[in-house]
Amino acid sequence: MKLDKVQKYLLKEIADLSDVPGGAYNIRSNSESIARQSSANIDIIPKKDVSGIDIRIKEGTKNESVHIPVVMTESGLKEEVYNDFYVGDNADVEIVAGCGIDNCGNHDSEHDGIHRFFVGKNSKVKYVEKHFGSGEGSGKRILNPVTEVYMEENSSVEMEMVQIKGVDDTVRTTIAELKEGASLIVRERLMTHNKQQAFSVYTVSLNGKGSNADVVSRAVARDDSFQKFEAKIVGNAECKGHTECDSIIMDNGKILAVPALEANDVDAALVHEAAIGKIAGEQIEKLMTLGLTEAEAEQEIINGFLR
């Protein structure tokens, strides 16, 4: 696999990879797959009609991982990629995705990844997605991920979605539908700088008895950036749903949090929480008494908050 310095840097940032990973993988760079490997239990098959891949994970596959990172270094690229994950029953796998864009040019670079997950009965999936932008060009780095999760009985999915640097514009759309006994945990971490904008929209439908979802977002908006977090949990059966948006605003940052709950069943128990505020002065003072400067204290507080 041939990668230049910038590509290697991006790969390290988004997937913590310094070489090809173990297990199944597909590494995409500037709109082409530059390395791909299936494993005995995980097949990666390129799509014929559109750009993207099908990832087929066999029933009963345990403790295996799939890495599908994307890096873009050519200014002005715009792509839509469709990746479908078919996870067989009784599997336990980790999926690491992520996209890094380095744009040194004057044209906008955009990657729109549409990921669909079909999670089989009793299966367990951990999904990690990191988005990152770098480069000094005036062209924007744009990422519009769409994530759809369809969960069969008693399956569980844990999603860790992180975007903490350099993405100028993003609209993140996540849809999940849960059958009986299914469990979804989402941990989102977002930080925006300068004039960046981020929209994050979740719609989680708890359709089966005993299903549950916990969608928690932690966000920091700095400089003149703007974020909108919109999370809706729909309870269509006896279920438990919780959504939380906890945000720090700094400088002229603005955040709009719109949590929404819809209960269509008398046994649906749904809770939402939202809090927005600046860093508490006493937190900064405490860290200053430990010898940190005010700026170092702020950084520690944010690092912890977005951990």
Partner 1 sequence: MLKIENLSFNVNSGEKEIIRNINLTIPDGKLIVITGPNGGGKSTLAKLIAGIEKPTQGKIFFNDTDITEMNITERAKLGIGFAFQQPVKFKGIRVIDLIRLSAGKELTITEACGYLSLVGLCAREYIEREVNSSLSGGELKRIEIAVVLARKSLLTVFDEPEAGIDLWSFNNLIDVFKGQREEIKDRSILIISHQERILNIADEIVVLSGGEIEKQGKKDELLPGLIGTSSAVEKCKGVKKGVDC
Which positions lie near partner 1, rule CB under 8 A? 218, 246, 280, 282-283, 285-294, 300-301, 303-307
Closer Cβ to partner 1, 50 or 304, answer by number? 304
Can you tell me the distance from the alpha carbon of 66 to that of 44, in angstroms, rounded to the nearest whole number? 9
With tokens 């860790």, the residue in question is 160
Q: Judging by beta carbons within 10 Å of its beta carbon (0-12, 13-18, 19+), is residue 254 exposed, middle or buried? A: middle
Work out how close the CB of 125 gets to partner 1 at its nearest, in angstroms, rounded to a whole number: 25
Identity of the residue, 171 or 292, whose beta carbon is nearer to partner 1 in the bound complex: 292
Residues 63 and 56: their CA atoms lie apart, in Å, by 15
For residue 39, the minimal CB distance to partner 1 (Å) is: 33
Q: Which is nearer to partner 1, 258 or 288 (CB)?
A: 288
3-state secondary structure of 284: helix
For residues 4 and 273, which CB has a smaller minimum distance to partner 1 in the complex?
273
- CB of residue 272 to partner 1, shortest distance in Å: 18
Nearest to partner 1 of 271, 288 (CB atom):
288
CA angle 149, 82, 177 (to 5 degrees): 10
Closest approach, Cβ 23 to partner 1, in A, equals: 28
What long-range pairs does 4-8 form, CB within 8 A, spacing at least 24?
4/73, 6/73, 6/102, 6/134, 7/71, 7/73
Closer Cβ to partner 1, 71 or 297, answer by number = 297
Smallest separation (angstroms) from partner 1 to the CB of 128: 18
Residue 52 CB, shortest distance to partner 1, in Å, is 35
Q: Considering beta carbons, is residue 48 or 307 the nearer one to partner 1?
A: 307
Closest CA to 243 of 260, 226, 255, 268: 260
**Least distance from partner 1 to the Cβ atom of residue 247, Å:** 11
Q: Residues for the chain: how many in total?
A: 307
Closer residue to partner 1 in complex, CB, 145/259 = 259
What is the Cα–Cα distance from 170 to 125, expressed in whole angstroms? 25
Least distance from C-beta 163 to partner 1, angstroms? 17
Alpha carbons 158 and 196: distance in angstroms, whole number: 27
CA distances from 204 to 51, 143, 163, 233, 260 (A): 27, 22, 21, 5, 10
**Can you tell me the distance from the alpha carbon of 221 to that of 249, in angstroms, rounded to the nearest whole number?**
5
